Amino acid sequence: MTLNTASRLGVALLALALNVCAEPTAIYMDPQQPLEQRVADLLGRLTLEEKIAQLHGDSKFTTAAIPRLGIPRRWLSDGPHGVREDIGPDTWNASGHTDDFATAMPAGICLAATWNPELGHAEGQVIGQEARARGKDIMLGPGVNILRTPLCGRNFEYLGEDPLLSGRMATGYVRGAQAADIASCVKHFAANNQEYQRGTINVEMDERTLREIYLPAFKMVVQEGRVWSVMGAYNQLRGEHCCHNDYLLNHILKGEWGFQGLVMSDWAGVHDTRQAVRNGLDLEMGTDGPYDDFYLARPYREGLQHGDYPLAGLDEKVRRNLRVMLATHVLDANRKPGSLNTAAHQKTAEQVAAEGLVLLKNRDQLLPLDPQKIVSLAVIGENAVRLQAHGGESSEIKAFYEVAPLSGILQRVGSSVNVTFSEGYRKGGDTNLVERALAAARQADVVVFIGGLNHDKGFDCEGADRPNLELPYGQNELIQKLVAANPRTVVVLEGTMVTMDTWLDQVPAVVQAWYPGMEGGNALAAVLFGDVNPSGKLPCTFPRRLLDSPAHALGAYPGTNGTVTYTEGLLVGYRWFDTQHVEPLFPFGYGLSYTQFKYSNLKLVPGTNAEQPLLSAEFDLTNTGQRPGAEVVELYVHQRHPSLARPEQELKGFQKVGLNPGETRRVSVPLDRTAFAFYDDRQHHWRAEADEFEIRVGGSSRDLPLKQRYQLPVTQTFP
C-alpha cells in the first residue's frame, strides 16, 4: 500500500475513530478482549503522525500521549536498583520534586551474591510496585552484562561473570517486577562490558563466545522471564551499533528467540535512520531535543512519505509499542496501583542485603561478635557513614532513608557496647586522621574497619572505568596499621572487588558488602553480630592482581583504534582461572558461613521419561555446625573429550538450601541437555555430544568434593 492510499484511508479512519472513540466499548479499551485484538484495533485507529510519535521520546523519559484515543504519556524510569528520582523533563538535572523518593534496593552485584532467585523475584516485586506507585510504565532494568573486566565502572549494577547465575537472578527479578503491571527492560543488549568509549567502541568476538557467554542471560530473561522490553547497548558489535544491529535484533532476538516486546535504544544510542528502521529498533530514547529531530521522528516520517520505507514496517514497530502498553494494562481501570516504601519493601531490602554479604575470611571465628563480651568497639572508615544509594549515575536512588554501617551498628549494640567512630581516611586525605583512628583502635576490644569504594567517577560509576583494582585514599596502609594496633580487626569492604594482598594475611576477618542499599547498615550489623548467618557467595572471581584476569592477561582491554577484541573468548572469569590454573584471591562461588556443611552420597539419576530431567544429581547436604545456616550448592560440568575446546568447567546448576544444626537434606539438582551443550559454530546450533562428562558438586568453583563421571549416550543438537 502506498502512502497516498494510506492517507486517504487514514482520513476515513480518523472520521470513524472520532466517532467510535466516544464508545467506551471500543475493542482496544476492553480488557476482556484478547491482547492482539486490542492491539490491532488501536493500531487501526492511529494516524501516521500518531504512529511515528509512539516511536520516540517527547522528553527525557516520556513518549507522547494521544488524548483523542485516551492514550496517556508513557513514563520510563531508571533503574535496576529502584525508581530513580524524576529527571528532566528536558535536561539531565533532577526535577527537584519532593515526591520522587524510593526504596533503594541493594545493587545488582549484591543481589547476585545471594544466589537466590527467589530474592531476585522479591527485589523485582519491590521495584515494580514502587514504579507503579510513582506512575512509571517501563522500568529500565535489570542490567545483565557479563563482568568481563574487573575495571568496568558498571560492574556494581550487573550480576557477575556467569551467564547462568545472571540469567536466573534476572529472570526472577523481571517476573517479580512485571507482576506489578509494568514492563521491565533488560539491558544493555549486547556486549556492553566496559564504559571506556562505550558510545563508539566496536566489540569483536567469535560466535561461540557471543552465544555461550554474552547472550544466554538475555535469552533466559526473554524466553523464561517474558520481559516486555530490551534496551540496545551503546557499543557496536561487529561494526554495527547495537541499538540498530540487524543480527542481534532481527535475526537473534526477534527471529530466533521470538521476542514480542519492544526494543528501545539507550539514550542517544541511535546513529542512523535507515538502520534504525530496518534493523529492529522500535523506540528511540534520547537526550536533547528537538525530539522531532530524532532518527525515528521526522526523518522516518519523511522517508515514509517518499516511499523509502514500507508502511508494514512502521506498523510492526507501533504494534510492539502498543502490545507492551496494553499488556501492562496502561488503559485499564484495574491496573495495579503499586505501593511505596512499605514495611515489606524495607524487609526485602534488608534480606537481600543480608544474604548478599559475603564472608571472605573468619580466622579463629572472630565473627560473629558477641555484644555481651565486648566493652568497646571502634568503627573506623569513611564508608561507615557514607550514604551510597544516591550515586553511580543512572542507577542512583533518592532513598527515603539510608542506614549507613555505623548507624546499623549503633542501632544494634549502641546501648550495650561503647562504640566510637573515627573516619580514618578521607578523599583528598587529611592530617592526623590516621593517628586518631589508631588511637581509637588501640583502646577498643574490637575494630570494625569499613572502607572500600564509592560511586565517584573512576570507581563504581557509569560512564568511566576504574584505572586499577587498588583501594583508594591510603586504605591499604591504614588497614595494615590498624591490625598492627589491634589484631582483632574486621575489614568490611563496600563496592566491587579490590586487591587485598598487602594486608589480607594479617586481618582475621573480611566481609564483602558491595552496595547493600538503604537497609544495608542493619543487614551488616545483623551479620556482624550473628543475628544472620552469612550465606552470600561471590558472583565474580576476585583476582590476586589485575593481570591475572583474562582480558588483562591477554592485553584485550580496553581495545585499540576503537575496537576491542574478546580474544579470551569463552574463558571469562572462573572459566579462565580454572582452565589456565591461575590461583584467584577468592574464587567464583566462594563464601563462608558461621556454620559448616558436608556433602556426601552423590548419585546421578537418569530421567526415565520425557517429563523428567535428562539427569538429576542427588546428594546429601548436612549442617555439621552449631548454627542454622544456608548453603549455596553449586554444580559444575566438565567434558572429557569435546570436539571443540571448552572451559575446564561451567556452572550448570545451583540451589540455596537452609539447614538447622545437624540436619541432613537430600538435594536434587536437575540437568537437561543444555547442561552438556556447547554452541557449535560449525553447524550454527547447540551440541550436547556423546562423551564422558564429570559432574562436580560443592560450595564453590574451587571446592567441589563430590565428583562423578557420566556418559552422555547420544549426541543431541538443538537450535
Residues 6+ apart with CB under 8 A from 30: 38
Least CB distance from residue 102 to ligand GLC, whole Å?
15
> With binding defined as CB under 6 A, does residue 465 bind ligand GLC?
no
| Site map (CB under 6 A) of ligand GLC, residues 185-214, x = contact | --x---------------------------
- Distance CA(219)–CA(502), nearest Å, equals 41
DSSP letters along 159-186, please?
--S-HHHHHHHHHHHHHHHHTTS-EEEE
Least CB distance from residue 587 to ligand GLC, whole Å?
30
In the complex with ligand GLC, the residue whose CB is nearer, 78 or 240, is: 78
DSSP letters along 592-616, please?
B-SS-EEEEEEEEEE-SSTTS-SEE
Distance between the two ends of the chain, CA-based, in angstroms? 36
In the complex with ligand GLC, the residue whose CB is nearer, 50 or 266, is: 266
- Distance CA(149)–CA(550), nearest Å, equals 8
**Residue 635 forms beta bridges with which residues?**
653, 697
Least CB distance from residue 256 to ligand GLC, whole Å?
25
The binder of ligand GLC chosen from 107, 140, 252, 387 (CB under 6 A) = 140
| Site map (CB under 6 A) of ligand GLC, residues 369-408, x = contact | -------------------------x--------------
Q: Which strands form 202-204's sheet, in the order they lie side by side?
A: 240-241, 236-237, 202-204, 563-565
Least CB distance from residue 237 to ligand GLC, whole Å?
16
In the complex with ligand GLC, the residue whose CB is nearer, 184 or 422, is: 184
- Distance CA(327)–CA(331), nearest Å, equals 9
Least CB distance from residue 97 to ligand GLC, whole Å?
17
The binder of ligand GLC chosen from 267, 503, 590, 599 (CB under 6 A) = 267
- Residues 654/633, Cβ–Cβ less than 8 Å: yes
In the complex with ligand GLC, the residue whose CB is nearer, 187 or 301, is: 187
- Residues 108/157, Cβ–Cβ less than 8 Å: yes
Least CB distance from residue 288 to ligand GLC, whole Å?
13
> With binding defined as CB under 6 A, does residue 266 bind ligand GLC?
yes
In the complex with ligand GLC, the residue whose CB is nearer, 90 or 618, is: 90
In the complex with ligand GLC, the residue whose CB is nearer, 271 or 627, is: 271
> With binding defined as CB under 6 A, does residue 78 bind ligand GLC?
yes
Which amino acid, residue 597?
F
Least CB distance from residue 266 to ligand GLC, whole Å?
5
> With binding defined as CB under 6 A, does residue 671 bind ligand GLC?
no
- Distance CA(267)–CA(59), nearest Å, equals 11
In the complex with ligand GLC, the residue whose CB is nearer, 463 or 613, is: 463
The counts of H helices and E strands in the chain are 18, 27
> With binding defined as CB under 6 A, does residue 137 bind ligand GLC?
no
| Three-class DSSP category at 550 | helix
Give the closest residue to 442 by CA, choosing from 378, 535, 368.
378
Residues 6+ apart with CB under 8 A from 137: 74, 75, 76, 131, 182, 183, 325, 328, 330
- Residues 142/159, Cβ–Cβ less than 8 Å: yes
**Gyration radius of the chain over CA positions:** 26
In the complex with ligand GLC, the residue whose CB is nearer, 116 or 145, is: 145
Kindly state the number of chain residues that form the binding site for ligand GLC, as judged by CB under 6 A: 7
- Distance CA(599)–CA(105), nearest Å, equals 33
Annotation says 465 is catalytic:
no
Please tell me which residue in 137, 181, 266, 548 is annotated as part of the active site.
Answer: 266
Least CB distance from residue 456 to ligand GLC, whole Å?
18
Binding residues vs ligand GLC (CB under 6 A): 78-79, 140, 187, 266-267, 394
Which residues are marked as active site? 266
